[in-house]
């Protein structure tokens, strides 16, 4: 029997029994679609978290004042000892390491910004030229802080999109003088809006040179020092270096915390990947359920078609041919069901993306592949029994419909 005939014969018998074929198709389809959608959601969540963190910068090391309490009875717990401030000099001392490509001291405060008669409370960021690239930010217009001596105060500022809209409205903001506290700063750049939510909201920020911020906020202490290393591999040595330098500068007190976003990210990654596998696995159980359904339906199909199978044998069909015919029927069904499920999965994840644009809900390739494979394999495995039953029928009895 040639392949196209086997398929045509199986197809004809399937389309003759629309009801039960549809049943198998739906079972298979739902299973495949649910595996795809659930893993797509899991992957989407993982990628979302991943991107949120990645948007903070790559190979990023953050130095913050104060000992991390989780490392034990820290200095914070001791009465009378306050952590020493992080200063610009500390930052400069750190910049000596050769694996450091960018370093940005960061100062944060809340001040009132005004222009003509418009006022609003803003988040003030004091930093340096490197911050833009270090944080992977983008400018909408103008330029970022100039590359200059950190100690220099220059009356320039870069403003977030929301600040521009609310304070300047329809007026051109670039070149205008924005009043922050007692001083005026010329607007030299406007930040592009960021889709991200973790970290600072750039849209409501005004960025000025770090020295200007120090004097405006009237404090020499830094909020953070952000460090970008040349490679991921360089991070441990830079962390060690930073810790040692600060300890030395702070007279032996280890009063800063050095963290990487990597460590946090990896933990999230692991949790969410595990979750994705778990829900994918649970959904895969439905594939097995679909397989059992296929087995039952095929058993009924075989007993309904006993006489036909007897006839085929009388016409010269071998055991193997009967086996192949029934298996092909089940496989075709699984294939069509799996394809339907695949289409549902693709459109479903597209629908979810429409509803939640911030989630990258794409079924992962491995999930598509395994769900399709598992669908076909269960379809095959569970139709072995009915096919074997059909192949083993005694032709004389089968012809009598027994």
Partner 1 sequence: MIRLEQIHRDFEVGDQIVHALNDINLDIAHGEYLSVMGPSGSGKSTLLNIIGILDHATSGRYFLNEQNVTDMDELAESRARNRHIGFVFQSFHLVPRLTAAQNIELPLVLAGIAPALRRQKVQQVLESLSLADRAHHTPDQLSGGQRQRVAIARATITEPSVLLADEPTGNLDQKSGSEVIVTLEALNQRGITLIVVTHDKNIADRSLRSLQMVDGRVVSDRHGR
| Residue 9 near partner 1 by CB under 8 A | yes
For 232, other C-beta atoms within 10 Å of its C-beta total 11
Q: Which residues contact 43 (CB under 8 A, 6 or more apart)?
A: 276, 360, 361, 362, 363, 364, 367
CA distance 189 to 175: 9
Contact between 316 and partner 1 by CB under 8 A: the answer reads yes
Q: With respect to partner 1, which residue has the nearer C-beta, 330 or 398?
A: 398
Q: Does 175 bind partner 1 (CB under 8 A)?
A: no
At its nearest, how many Å lie between partner 1 and the CB of residue 14?
A: 10
Size of the site for partner 1 (CB under 8 A): 24
3-state secondary structure of 343: helix
Q: How far apart are CA 163 and CA 48, in angstroms?
A: 27
Q: Which residue among 7, 26, 311, 336 contacts partner 1 (CB under 8 A)?
A: 311
Stretch 13-42: interaction string toward partner 1, x if CB under 8 A: x--x--------------------------
**Angle between helix 3-16 and helix 319-355 axes, rounded to 10 deg:** 70
Q: Where are the alpha helices (DSSP H) in 17-106?
A: 18-54, 88-94
CB of residue 16 to partner 1, shortest distance in Å: 4
If one asks whether residue 315 binds partner 1 (CB under 8 A), the answer comes out as yes
Q: How far apart are CA 103 and CA 59, in angstroms?
A: 12
Contact string (CB under 8 A) for partner 1, positions 181-220, x = contact = ----------------------------------------
Q: Is 320 in the site for partner 1 (CB under 8 A)?
A: yes
Q: Which stretch binds partner 1 (CB under 8 A): 102-110, 279-287, 315-323, 359-367?
A: 315-323
Q: Is 291 exposed, middle or buried (0-12, 13-18, 19+ CB in 10 A)?
A: buried
Residue by residue, DSSP assigns 212-275 as: HHHHHHT----SEEEEEESSSTTHHHHHHHHHHHHHHHTTT---EEEEEHHHHHHHHHHHHHHH
- State the pairing for strand pair 256-260/100-115: unpaired
Interface with partner 1, residue 388, by CB under 8 A: no
The CB density around residue 123, as the number of other CB atoms within 10 Å, is 19
**Considering the rule CB under 8 A, would residue 303 count as an interface residue with partner 1?**
no
In the complex with partner 1, the residue whose CB is nearer, 230 or 321, is 321
User: Is residue 395 close enough to count as binding partner 1 by CB under 8 A?
Assistant: yes
Among 200, 307, 352, 377, binds partner 1 (CB under 8 A): 307
277 binds partner 1 (CB under 8 A): no
Residue placing its CB nearer to partner 1 in the complex, 1 or 300: 1
* Binding-site member from 76, 151, 318, 385 for partner 1 (CB under 8 A): 318
Which residues of the shown chain bind partner 1 in the complex (CB under 8 A)? Answer: 1-2, 5, 9, 12-13, 16, 307-308, 310-321, 395-396, 399
């Amino acid at each position: 029997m040639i392949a196209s005939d086997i398929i045509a014969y199986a197809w004809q018998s399937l389309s003759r029994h629309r009801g039960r074929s549809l049943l198998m198709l739906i079972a298979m389809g739902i299973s495949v679609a649910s595996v795809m959608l659930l893993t797509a959601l899991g992957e989407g969540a993982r990628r979302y978290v991943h991107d949120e963190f990645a948007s903070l910068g790559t190979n990023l090391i953050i130095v913050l004042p104060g000992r991390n309490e989780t490392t034990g009875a820290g200095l914070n717990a001791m009465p009378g000892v306050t952590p020493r401030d992080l200063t610009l000099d500390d930052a400069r001392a750190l910049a000596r390491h050769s694996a450091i490509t960018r370093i940005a001291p960061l100062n944060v405060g809340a001040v009132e910004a005004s222009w003509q008669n418009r006022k609003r409370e803003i988040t003030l960021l004091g930093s340096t030229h490197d911050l833009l690239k270090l944080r992977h930010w983008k400018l909408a217009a103008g330029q970022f802080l100039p590359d200059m001596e950190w100690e220099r105060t220059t009356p320039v500022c870069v403003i977030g999109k929301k600040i521009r809209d609310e304070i300047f409205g329809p007026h051109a903001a670039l070149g205008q003088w924005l009043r922050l506290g007692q001083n005026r700063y010329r607007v030299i750049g406007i930040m592009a809006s960021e889709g991200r939510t973790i970290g600072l909201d750039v849209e409501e920020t005004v960025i000025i040179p770090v020295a200007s911020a120090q004097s405006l906020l009237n404090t020499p202490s830094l909020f953070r020092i952000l460090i970008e290393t040349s490679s991921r591999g360089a991070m441990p040595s830079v962390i060690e270096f930073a810790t040692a330098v600060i300890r030395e500068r702070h007279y032996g007190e280890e009063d800063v915390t050095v963290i990487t976003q990597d460590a946090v990210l990896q933990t999230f990654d692991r949790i969410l990947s595990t979750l994705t596998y778990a829900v994918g696995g649970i959904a895969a159980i439905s594939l097995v359920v679909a397989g059992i359904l296929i087995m039952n339906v095929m058993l009924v199909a075989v007993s309904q078609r006993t006489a036909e199978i007897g006839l085929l044998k009388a016409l010269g069909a071998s055991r193997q041919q009967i086996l192949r015919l029934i298996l092909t029927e089940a496989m075709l069904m699984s294939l069509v069901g799996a394809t339907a499920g695949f289409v549902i999965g693709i459109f479903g994840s597209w629908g979810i993306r429409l509803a939640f644009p911030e989630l990258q809900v794409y079924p992962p390739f491995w999930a598509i592949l395994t769900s399709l494979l598992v669908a076909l394999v269960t379809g095959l495995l569970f139709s072995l029994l009915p096919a074997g039953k059909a192949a083993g029928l005694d032709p004389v009895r089968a012809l009598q419909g027994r």
